[in-house]
Amino acid sequence: MGEQGFIVFGVHLCRSNIDEDWGLECQPTEGNKPQLRVTQTKIESPASMEIKVGDIITEINGISCDDLIVEDVMAVFKSSKNELELKVKRGANEDGIDHNGSNLVEENSSRFYLT
């Protein structure tokens, strides 16, 4: 168990070719320290077995997400070819959502799909 009831773990994703997307939809949260929250996973995608809605991606290929803007995150995912290393933070609550932290940004404002 990590900080304040969270678990933090690494995820290694692989895809068969660069035309297959990773299967993640994310949205930054608002607050003092924005986070990259998973809002949807695509069924039978590389992410679907490991990542859950509500998870927070804290690192992509060793790069901290703390100071990345949406365009930076998308560029890192696109440059990853067929393998991706993520560090994920998951709430200890059964639903995986951080009820103590940031709230999601307004609906439809900044969701993006990672390919």
18 in the Ramachandran plot: left (φ > 0), alpha (ψ -120 to 50) or beta? Answer: alpha
* Average pLDDT, rounded, for the chain: 79
Residue 55: name the closest of 47, 44, 43 by CA. 47
- 16-54 pLDDT per residue, tens: 998 888 899 988 887 767 789 999 999 999 999 899 999
Whether the pLDDT of residue 115 is over 80: the answer is no
pLDDT grade, residue 102 (50/70/90)?
A: very low
pLDDT grade, residue 9 (50/70/90)?
A: very high
The letter for the amino acid at 31 is G
Report the C-alpha gap between 16 and 2 in whole angstroms.
33
Cross-strand bridge partners of residue 113: 25
CATH code (residue 19): 2.30.42.10
Q: What is the pLDDT of residue 60?
A: 93
Whether the pLDDT of residue 67 is over 90: the answer is no
Which one has a higher pLDDT value, 112 or 4?
Answer: 4
* Parent domain of 61: 3-114
Count of structural domains within the chain = 1
